[in-house]
Amino acid sequence: MNALTKTDFHFDGQTNVYHGKVRDVYTVKNDLLVMVVSDRISAFDVVLPKGIPYKGQMLNQIASQFLDATADIVPNWKLATPDPMVTVGLRCEGFPVEMIVRGYLCGSAWRAYKSGVREICGVKIPDGMRENERFPTPIVTPTTKAEQGLHDEDISKEEILKQGLATPEEYELLEKYTLALFQRGTEMAAKRGLILVDTKYEFGKRDGKIYLMDEIHTPDSSRYFYADGYEERFAKGEPQKQLSKEFVREWLMENGFQGKKGQQIPEMTDEIVKGISDRYIELFENITGRTFEKADTSNVSQRIQKNISEYLKTI
């Protein structure tokens, strides 16, 4: 099982390349983006030392399916997926914020709430809530879009407007799109016996119009619970059975790592790596309703280079 953890492609017309925590984004003719979703995995803003086989393929194919399924709500950047690990799309000028929407109190929001915090990103949260409890209505809690190596920071709507990160009209649209996308994702998840707990969206502008960018409703950007058993587990105060990257964070925390200075990443044995890969496949099949078909990884870099190059010749 080969994992793709590094790329160094050179395409005709290539004008830039950006290596993110998980995605390597190549700019072609300053107009198109070629996004290669690697098998790298990050948690607590740290890239872990081993890649997860097939993770990039799963993320890319889930995102592709949901981009197609939500194109009636907001235009998105996707043009094609010439390879299982690649999406090619329109280059947009990204807003420097990520729109996070939460339907339930859990994860980092719960950790903050448990420590006494009752307001996140300017949104007040009532006393007396319990872990994994559903909010009366989903809440939008944006973060800054940090530069590489820095942590994203919570930010309120008021601060976004004050800093000029979006105009009032733009922010209104961003929030409208965010809630509509989350509602669609919630409905699609429910049909698969899942609960879409929280997720994040990234938006950009092109020719004055707002586009949805990057990934959508993947386990890297979203958290899912199984609907079956949710109420019983919640009533008993038990952890929810979930499909998300949170299990990776929990494993790291159990082994003394939260991305803080001086902490060591625990050893990622072959068993741990395979277990993470299997959980990603489980999510893929549950959320898409399709059997996951593993692409040939005998020479994954060569395959990707060939597929992208051939696609670029057609446009």
Domain boundary among 190, 209, 244: 244
Same domain, 142 and 47: no
> Is 250 domain-assigned?
no
> Do 138 and 117 share a structural domain?
yes
Q: Report the domain count for the chain.
A: 2
Q: Does one domain contain both 297 and 282?
A: yes
Instruction: Tell me the pLDDT of the chain (315 aa) as tens digits.
Output: 689 999 999 999 999 999 999 999 999 999 999 999 999 999 988 999 999 999 999 999 999 999 999 999 999 999 999 999 999 999 999 999 999 999 999 988 999 999 999 999 999 999 999 999 999 999 999 999 866 555 679 999 999 999 999 999 999 999 999 999 999 999 999 999 999 999 999 999 999 999 999 999 998 899 999 999 999 999 999 999 887 787 898 899 999 999 999 999 999 999 999 999 998 898 899 989 999 999 999 999 999 999 999 999 998
- Whether residue 161 is contained in a domain is answered as yes
CB neighbours (10 Å) of residue 134?
15
Whether 274 maps to a domain, the answer reads yes
CATH of the domain at 283: 3.30.200.20
Domain interval for residue 68? 14-93+268-312
Q: Within this chain, do residues 279 and 199 fall inside the same structural domain, yes or no? A: no
Q: Kindly state whether residue 256 falls inside one of the protein's structural domains.
A: no
- Asked if residue 109 and residue 226 are part of one domain, the reply reads yes
Q: Based on the domain organization, do 21 and 104 belong to the same domain?
A: no
Does 304 fall in a domain?
yes
Q: Are residues 120 and 186 in the same domain?
A: yes
> Within this chain, do residues 80 and 141 fall inside the same structural domain, yes or no?
no
Task: Please report, for the domain that includes residue 198, its CATH number.
Answer: 3.30.470.20
Residue 298 lies in a domain: yes
Say whether both 104 and 84 belong to one domain: no
284 and 211 share a domain?
no
Please say which residue of 229, 244, 259 terminates a domain. Answer: 244
In a domain, 255, yes or no: no
Record the pTM: 0.90
State which of 206, 228, 244 marks the end of a domain: 244
Say whether both 208 and 307 belong to one domain: no
Tell whether 47 and 86 lie within a shared domain.
yes
Q: Residue 211 falls within a domain, yes or no? A: yes
